[in-house]
């Protein structure tokens, strides 16, 4: 049997959970849907908005106000690739994170907030699933994959949820749509490599700068004191309180308790 035929057969039995059907999720989904993967599960409860259309390649002006995940399922299904697309009917949340992760072979995270990024990292590690993380702001984007071994992980790189005033998201800082297209293609490539068992780039973060047209690969080393993948882990379950921004942000003039920033899931 040829290698490509063997890969196609393997992928047809594989599944991925895509967290976030936005600027990163759309190009990743388009690439994965044409790859021959058997099943995709979409976790997003947002609606299409006019201001995001430049980077959300699955949607057009006629889709504004409609449910993104439902629309994405329709559009990916129309490709007629034999792919099954399911909806989580929810965001990726502490309550459903482990069940959703357990239902697939791999996680792909293109979320726009740190709470979801760290929750994804923890759920992937605790369920033994590989995960591909993506992020983008202005002209730059980063992609980081964690193989089935789970180390080095997202927390080896970024440690913990930053305070509320740190880290603008792409809506606040802006992001170039084509830069996210580059990231989505790379996220899909790494996801397929993980699913095929051929991922040999573990321990690297990829950073693309659209102004300089430069793609860099930087080695990542696992932290010996990592609370998730280190030898003495303190994170052994999903605790919702872990994904709230540190309280120090509140004392420094950030929004008061119970404000929108206090609830990372809305």
Q: Which lies closer to Zn ion via its Cβ, residue 134 or residue 203?
A: 203
Q: In sequence order, what are the beta bridge partners of 138?
A: 175
CB of 101 to Zn ion, least distance (A): 17
Which residues are within 8 A (CB) of 116 and not within 5 positions of it... i.e. 6 or more apart? 19, 20, 91, 92, 109, 243, 264, 265
Q: Is 175 exposed, middle or buried (0-12, 13-18, 19+ CB in 10 A)?
A: buried
Give whichever of 93 and 153 is closer to Zn ion, judged by the CB atom.
153
Q: In terms of CB distance, is 234 or 252 closer to Zn ion?
A: 234
Q: Which is nearer to Zn ion, 27 or 230 (CB)?
A: 230
Q: How far is the CB of 116 from Zn ion (least distance, A)?
A: 18
For Zn ion, which is the closer residue by CB, 170 or 229?
A: 229
Q: Which residue is nearest to Zn ion (CB)?
A: 226
Of residues 36 and 203, the one with the C-beta less far from Zn ion:
203
**Under a CB-based contact definition with an 8 Å cutoff, are residues 262 and 113 in contact?**
no
Long-range pairs, 224-232, Cβ under 8 A, ≥24:
226/151, 226/152, 226/153, 226/155, 226/156, 227/155, 228/121, 228/122, 228/125, 228/150, 228/153, 228/154, 228/155, 228/156, 229/125, 229/150, 229/151, 229/152, 229/153, 229/155, 229/156
**Least gap, CB of 156 to Zn ion (angstroms):** 4
We find the least distance from the C-beta atom of residue 120 to Zn ion, in angstroms, to be 13
Give DSSP secondary structure letters for 57-79.
TT--GGGTTSBHHHHHHHHHHTT
Burial of 177 (0-12, 13-18, 19+ CB in 10 A): middle
Q: From the CB of 203, what's the least distance to Zn ion, in Å?
A: 11
Q: Which residues of this protein are in contact with Zn ion, per CB under 5 A? A: 153, 155-156, 226, 228-229
Contact predicate 118/203, CB 8 Å: no
Shortest Å distance, C-beta 222 to Zn ion:
6
> In terms of CB distance, is 133 or 155 closer to Zn ion?
155
Least distance between Zn ion and beta carbon 125 (Å) = 8
């Amino acid at each position: 049997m040829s290698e490509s035929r063997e890969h196609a057969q393997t992928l047809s039995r594989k599944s991925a959970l895509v967290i976030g059907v936005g600027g990163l999720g759309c190009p990743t989904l388009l690439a994965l849907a044409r790859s021959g993967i058997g099943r995709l599960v979409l976790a997003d409860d947002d609606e299409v908005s006019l201001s995001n259309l430049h980077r959300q390649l699955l949607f057009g002006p006629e889709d504004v106000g409609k449910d993104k995940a439902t629309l994405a399922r329709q559009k990916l299904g129309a490709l007629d690739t034999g792919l099954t697309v399911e909806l989580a009917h929810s965001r990726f949340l502490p309550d459903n994170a482990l069940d959703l992760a357990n239902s697939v072979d791999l996680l792909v995270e293109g979320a726009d907030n740190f709470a979801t990024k760290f929750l994804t990292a923890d759920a992937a590690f605790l369920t033994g699933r590989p995960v591909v993380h993506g992020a983008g702001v202005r002209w730059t984007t980063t992609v980081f994959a964690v193989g089935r071994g789970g180390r080095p992980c997202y927390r080896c790189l970024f440690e913990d949820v930053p305070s509320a005033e740190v880290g603008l998201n792409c809506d606040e800082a802006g992001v170039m749509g084509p830069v996210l297209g580059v990231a989505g293609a790379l996220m899909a490539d790494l996801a397929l490599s993980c699913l095929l068992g051929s991922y040999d780039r573990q321990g690297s973060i990829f950073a693309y700068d659209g102004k300089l047209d430069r793609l860099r690969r930087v080695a990542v080393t696992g932290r010996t004191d990592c609370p998730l993948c280190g030898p003495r882990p303190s994170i052994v379950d999903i605790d919702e309180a872990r994904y709230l921004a540190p309280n120090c942000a509140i004392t420094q003039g950030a929004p008061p308790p119970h404000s929108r920033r206090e609830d990372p899931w809305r």
